[in-house]
Amino acid sequence: MIKYPNMKKTQPQKTQYTNTRGLNLEKDINDSNAYYNAINRAVIYKKPTPINVVRVQYEKRSVAKIIEAYYQQASTTDYNGVYRGKAIDFEAKETKSKKEFRLDLIHAHQIKHLASVLKQGAIAFIVVRFITLNNTYLLDAKIVIDYYNQKNIKAIPIEVFEEKGGVITEGFTPRLKYLDVVDDLYFGGGQNEKK
Amino acid sequence: MIKYPNMKKTQPQKTQYTNTRGLNLEKDINDSNAYYNAINRAVIYKKPTPINVVRVQYEKRSVAKIIEAYYQQASTTDYNGVYRGKAIDFEAKETKSKKEFRLDLIHAHQIKHLASVLKQGAIAFIVVRFITLNNTYLLDAKIVIDYYNQKNIKAIPIEVFEEKGGVITEGFTPRLKYLDVVDDLYFGGGQNEKK
């Protein structure tokens, strides 16, 4: 198997015992980003999980061993970077539902963050995998925010992902060809010169 | 004092016992970013320090207490986000030298990352504080990379920061007006509409 120079970068994430829901999707995205990075198509990373370190032990002068720490809730989305000159920012979620994406799966601060980066001109979206259907979609953040802000609306129907989003095709390299959907939705299907 | 909605976001960083060199500059930048974010001028964050978690204890079902973990070397730069439609990516360093910035203060993988984001069209630079002079400069990543790749060159003279970079003026809000330098260097001095 091909070794991507920055495959290592995804390993810290894998070894962290964070909420395991979405870990498969996370791994797929991390691997895809490592591939995109390796072929110079995009530079997109998952942000490390913020951890509040309380106590550190220095066994050797050089090695700091953390002996008490706690996971913190991220203030932003999980992924960001740059692609075709634009800032990219997105969140990835998995759901077992076959018909909708429950909005309580996204935190209020993530909605706020997506709105802020949209305002600054970033390309922002969510990637949602419907595990049971084994379908993964990309949906623009603006649509997600509009649904989120509507009273009495608790979920985004899968039809919205079908009609206004894009299906992310899966393969070997990259595992999730999500930048092809970004090309279609945000660059009029134009292909990246660097591809 | 004004409470910025996302001031909290910088606190995990402060409590982490990472390499303390550069912590003052880091705090100044984090506070400035919180302010810029609060006034909707930019969305720029410091990435959490990647930590490799080895052992976790569940005291209550809900609380995961990390009892063994180690800091990992970041694969990217410390700061990134979006400003005026462009992806922003930079690294911040402090030096005690009065005449130069030693290139061994920047890791090879950070140079590689800066080159990658430049290739993707991001605005990339380094922020260097000369502690002894109490001067903080912003210098475009392309210049840094060119120096880095030259054989037998071990440092960037402060004159280069003076002539090709920009001095970051300090104030109260924001502590470091570094986006004004970004406006000058990358947007022809044009002011941000959203300001």
Antiparallel, parallel or unpaired: β B86-95 and B123-130: parallel
Query: Which CATH code of 3.40.1350.10, 3.30.450.20, 3.40.50.720, 3.40.50.12780 fits the domain covering A21-186?
Result: 3.40.1350.10
- Mean pLDDT lowest among A19-28, A46-55, A76-85, B22-31: A19-28
Confidence of residue A100 (pLDDT cuts 50, 70, 90): very high
Give the separation between CA A59 and CA A65, rounded to whole angstroms: 7
For residue B60, what pLDDT is reported?
73
Cβ–Cβ < 8 Å for B133, B177: no
Domain ranges across chain A: 21-186
Over residues B115-138, the mean pLDDT reads: 97
Residues 34-93, chain B: which have Cβ within 8 Å of A? 37, 40, 42-43, 45, 47-54, 56, 63-72, 74-76, 80-89
Task: Report which of B107, B37, B28, B27 is spatially closest to residue B72, judged by C-alpha positions.
Answer: B107
ipTM field: 0.80
Q: Is the pLDDT of residue B147 over 60?
A: yes
Residues A87, B85: C-beta atoms closer than 8 Å: yes
Cβ–Cβ < 8 Å for B95, B136: no
Question: DSSP H helical segments within chain B, as ranges?
Answer: 11-15, 23-38, 108-119, 141-149, 158-164, 178-186
Q: Is the pLDDT of residue A6 over 70?
A: no
Give the separation between CA A107 and CA B146, rounded to whole angstroms: 42
For residue B111, what pLDDT is reported?
96
Give the separation between CA B40 and CA B38, rounded to whole angstroms: 5
Residues of A in contact with B85 (CB under 8 A): 86-87, 120-122
The partner residues of A93 in beta bridges, in order of sequence, read: A128
Residues of B in contact with A50 (CB under 8 A): 12, 48
Give the separation between CA B81 and CA B98, rounded to whole angstroms: 30
Q: Which of A40, A66, A68 sits opposite B116 (nearest CB)?
A: A40
Q: Is the pLDDT of residue B178 over 80?
A: yes
Cβ–Cβ < 8 Å for A47, A34: no
Amino acid in position A12: P
Task: Report which of A5, A27, A7 is spatially closest to residue A16, judged by C-alpha positions.
Answer: A27
Neighbours of A70 (CB within 10 A): 15
The partner residues of A128 in beta bridges, in order of sequence, read: A93, A137
Task: Report which of A76, A88, A77, A74 is spatially closest to residue A37, judged by C-alpha positions.
Answer: A88
Give the separation between CA A92 and CA A79, rounded to whole angstroms: 8
